[in-house]
Structure 1
């Protein structure tokens, strides 16, 4: 009898090993077989995965920082990160196998872990304030915004304090929604569209076979190389001055070039346009035509009437003031409408669920077997609620002590007030993002900015407002990104513990890499120059928001308030029309928040992005089946190639090595 039991146990163990091997080999059909056979979460996080995450996180941080400091427009690169992680790891394992070195198979769990880690890393570069509220504290932005209106209120960037600030305000967001993860994802069944799309994509990568994977790798490598070499070639013609090279090519004539309408041959923005929806790119172009094509030439003719003649163009009391404040009006109008709309959707949905539960608590919606297994794995490996509560309290206490030391204008009780309200704001934002895919963190950040500016008063309000903005925005943003990643993990059957730890590792890497990548640009290029390449438009926007919060409408130039009212109403009206008219018409309504960016920056990058959009449109017309999987690979190659050239270009600039040729176009 003992021999029979041993034989049965041996067969069971052999079957278990075979099933595990099948799963680890990435067999797509096996992905939902028997949840008890899946890898333990400790094996889903690997050393090579962390190494790959660091590399990808650094690449994307540099790319995101460049986008932040040039136009402020950064697309959602989650899908691109998932694809690049797949390409990177598949290439690595294939190379090792060809060299005769055995490698552990690359699974969807590891793919999800790398994607989560690298996205968490570059998200700090996008949402950490390096191109907006932190940069808005520096002396150059202070002078551009009219230093006399807020005397002495500036703080120069520094690697040390920026790194410390990022660690203080970003990590706390990881803990705030941990107790509600099951409620949001399993109980409320929120879809979190970006997280779901990434999860479906990763599952597709590991079940579609090697042919498409090889094609994507080749496509990425080809366009990465072309973009990198094109960036290298362009560098030789950029000279020492800021208006040399292909980036200043007067494509539509010199008059259009002076009004910021030209194709600047940026593969980064062509690739970005390929990823962004068509309506985003068309909204950018529409905003450029309205502002630089119509409004600024007309307002410029009012020099000496609406604003004095002798003022420099960068002054907030000249044409630049209209550019900054009208773009702020568009952003606030669009943001306020969507903020109220999503709060309404959230409250109505929560109220409906509570009402339904109270009326008929025994009713359960039927779910598929696949979804049952996803939910089982998601809820089985619990994250203790004590981790969320303890982590939040500890980081809040550290912030209460450290932030007033870093920014004397921010009192300790301001921090306590911010962190009392932050959890409820984070829940509202995550719930709204789960329904609509809108991460409204920047709007909650503006609430924090105005609240802090009002509390601090006229003397300290500008600095306190911008520093306090990050307190609220970071908690709300990081917690929402974590929910998106947990949704991805649910679909790929990756443990929630893996997702939380991956997000923490990525956040830690981002808090180190982002300040370093910022200073790479800050020391090598003229950041914040309104006439240069690196305009950093959101720095001046956030600075002026803080001044508005302290001084009110007295900060605006002549007739600017009336124009701001008009564009604020326009942003609200466009959103209302979009929601009222049929979807087939509403989808062509411009997005006011996208229109706002070229008001400050110009139309050149909108033309680049529209070209990317046009390429995708034609590709889908010619061969939609090929375009669907290949567009992300080609776009990622274009973005990453030129983005990687930024690194040697920065090093050359720091070493005072100038390009040998200045290619310039002059009127005959």
Structure 2
């Protein structure tokens, strides 16, 4: 499960309920709050029939090297099978649709690896036993083919990050055609540019970060342990029970979301303060409603809270309280921000507008708070990376030394090669790749893939976006550098700040284009397009290396994984563009800032637009007081992150706010997601403390089903909207603010 870096969601509490592993020391504990080593323990097999799984759970697993095979595990010569491709692609499509819905809502995305691993097992393990051969049965389904399934699912579901804010920003700034439908092929080729760097960079980075540096990669490690546990139990009770729970919650959440669009004011949004305003004499209650304080019965964000735990859930709620309960009303009271009254009822006021005639002198509260939120996010994320700088520096030195060894044999490079050899020899000698040559990806394969993709990048960006070859190559180089940074961060802290690497690339392109004879249109186009390429490469690389880490632990063929990732990425190109067109057609407010009320708050869109405008406009479009607050909060974020690593005792860390999530709350102009996440976190915490075995079995399955279910329900709702039979046509506004339909 990942946080919007996408802040990627810090490895959740349910990971503590996985089979015991040793040597699990990282820069911080997997819940993001503890720097101590972590030993994960579980006893989740209470029945006699699961004794074999229980014995397996008690085995100590050394996560610095491949796990031993399970008793009775067969050889799997064909790991990338037709059935794995079909199931992995379908599961990846589910995750992609869920992520498109969730990231347009709040910028959060949901990782495909654990979802693909569990449901892949649930589908293919029984079918391998009970179905006839022509339907994929009769063939052994083991952990390594399971890895292939989740790799394909990850590839197919991993491009949503491009559409959470970066691509919509191109439309918000009028840099593309009026509607995405007119740009279908342009979007396809551009998405294809970003889709495959991760596959090729991931293979190139595998040996450095997985074998030489022995990166922990907490979430991929949890996926490997989960797959091993599932296959240890086979078709026994716990393994299939976990899958049934996931499927059941998925179906329930999907049906609930789909049905709620016809009565959103009753089934989905509980506007309690507005109801009080309408039914009692306490008319001032409308103020709380105007500032976005209401309850939403969202399964997805309740599930997100269950996965992320108390620290993240309460940090998000605290950020909402500070932003929309204290600072926002204070700026309105002092005349720093302004609202837009409803034409029918002046008591109802909106503070969410981003379509402003004078954003510096007459900003909305949403625009005012955007800058402090963005500064908190960037400062907190990059400080997290800086706190892991020693490991990052070691990784970069290994990359440089290994590259230096391949220099030509000449007197000119003799000293450099000798120094590189000496440095590498000082390192760990047990860094040989355990994979046989037949299961490795040859260097010529990934190198030629990078070369062809670079050529395609230069061609597409040159013909469709008027970017010269130098700028296109710069985007690829930045993408590779940020891939190294994001992968190292994911390996040590389980955070992959790909989206904020994108913001850094925007700064680079802003500097490159500032002295040239570029129009404002061209500056903003280069700024966003270059940032998208770098972001896509970094995000994909992190996902792919993480998948290769899972395969490494389970002894899977990384060549089979590579092929699966390429196949999944090819599907993702068409899938992600199609989903983006569907959602923007059903909900035009996603791209049109003049539409005040929208079901999708798109906070990442505001961040991309803000950075692009700040870098390219002649004067900063930032309200002065907002800028001062941004600097103050940015400094506070740096201090708090540093203190969490070096000053606070371990017992305090659960209660030290997660500043990345705290800042995100400033950028989401309503509070219902924070309330839902905090509620989910509290429920999961109580569940884990009171019913530990039950939580160990279902602590991931329940929230994963809720998240994916609402995402697919949102997709169905969008399809109903496009076909004219959705909530807008047939839904009721009863219970909604102002009696206006709010679905």
**TM-score, normalised on structure 2?**
0.76
Q: Which ranges of structure 2 fall in alignment gaps of 5 or more residues?
A: 1-52, 60-66, 277-285, 342-350, 402-418
State the distance in 1 between where 2:502 and 2:242 align: 38
8 A Cα contact 2:309 2:685, kept in partner: no
8 A Cα contact 2:324 2:666, kept in partner: yes
Determine which of 680, 688, 697 is the counterpart of 1:612.
680
State the distance in 2 between where 1:60 and 1:583 align: 35
Residue 57 of structure 1, CA deviation: 1.3
Which has the larger displacement, 618-627 or 26-35?
Answer: 26-35
Determine which of 602, 622, 627 is the counterpart of 1:556.
622
Residue 99 of structure 1, CA deviation: 12
Residue 270 of structure 1, CA deviation: 1.3
- The answer to whether structure 1 residue 223 and structure 2 residue 249 are counterparts is yes
Q: Which ranges of structure 1 fall in alignment gaps of 5 or more residues?
A: 1-25, 143-151, 239-243
What does the per-residue CA deviation read over 1:172-226, in whole Å, with 9 as the maximum and x for residues that have no partner? 2322353442232222222222221111111111002411023113322332232
Residue 153 of structure 1, CA deviation: 4.2
- The answer to whether structure 1 residue 496 and structure 2 residue 558 are counterparts is yes
Equivalent residue number for residue 260 of structure 1: 292
Q: Secondary structure at the match of 1:399?
A: helix
State the distance in 1 between where 2:458 and 2:133 align: 55
Root-mean-square deviation (CA, aligned residues, Å) is: 3.3
Matches within 5 A, 1:587-626: 587-601=654-668, 602-626=670-694
Equivalent residue number for residue 7 of structure 1: none
Determine which of 462, 469, 487 is the counterpart of 1:430.
487
Equivalent residue number for residue 446 of structure 2: 388
State the distance in 1 between where 2:692 and 2:89 align: 34
Residue 468 of structure 1, CA deviation: 0.6
Determine which of 640, 652, 657 is the counterpart of 1:585.
652
Give the 3 Å change call, closer, same or farther, for CA 556–497 of structure 1 in structure 2: same
Equivalent residue number for residue 607 of structure 2: 541
What does the per-residue CA deviation read over 1:334-359, in whole Å, with 9 as the maximum and x for residues that have no partner? 13322333344311566699899958
Matches within 5 A, 1:266-665: 266-303=298-335, 313-314=353-354, 315=356, 316-317=359-360, 318-319=363-364, 320-347=366-393, 358=422, 361=425, 376-377=434-435, 381-408=439-466, 410-457=467-514, 459=520, 460-525=522-587, 526-528=589-591, 529=595, 531-551=597-617, 554-580=620-646, 581-601=648-668, 602-657=670-725, 658-664=729-735
8 A Cα contact 1:449 1:468, kept in partner: yes
8 A Cα contact 1:75 1:275, kept in partner: no
Give the 3 Å change call, closer, same or farther, for CA 323–477 of structure 1 in structure 2: same
State the distance in 1 between where 2:507 and 2:735 align: 44
Residue 503 of structure 1, CA deviation: 1.0
Equivalent residue number for residue 132 of structure 1: 165
Structure whose residues are more often helix by fraction: 1
Give the 3 Å change call, closer, same or farther, for CA 181–379 of structure 1 in structure 2: farther
8 A Cα contact 2:249 2:705, kept in partner: yes
Q: Secondary structure at the match of 1:559?
A: helix
State the distance in 1 between where 2:135 and 2:423 align: 65
How many residues are matched?
A: 615
Determine which of 105, 116, 134 is the counterpart of 1:70.
105
Give the 3 Å change call, closer, same or farther, for CA 424–36 of structure 1 in structure 2: farther
8 A Cα contact 2:165 2:605, kept in partner: yes
Equivalent residue number for residue 8 of structure 1: none
Residue 248 of structure 1, CA deviation: 2.7
Residue 114 of structure 1, CA deviation: 0.9
Which has the larger displacement, 469-478 or 525-534?
Answer: 525-534
State the distance in 2 between where 1:306 and 1:51 align: 52
Equivalent residue number for residue 19 of structure 1: none
Determine which of 186, 193, 203 is the counterpart of 2:228.
203
State the distance in 1 between where 2:215 and 2:686 align: 34
**TM-score, normalised on structure 1?**
0.84
State the distance in 2 between where 1:417 and 1:366 align: 36
Determine which of 188, 191, 196 is the counterpart of 2:216.
191
State the distance in 1 between where 2:194 and 2:395 align: 30
8 A Cα contact 1:268 1:643, kept in partner: yes
Give the 3 Å change call, closer, same or farther, for CA 294–366 of structure 1 in structure 2: same
Residue 633 of structure 1, CA deviation: 1.4
Residue 245 of structure 1, CA deviation: 4.3
Give the 3 Å change call, closer, same or farther, for CA 624–521 of structure 1 in structure 2: same
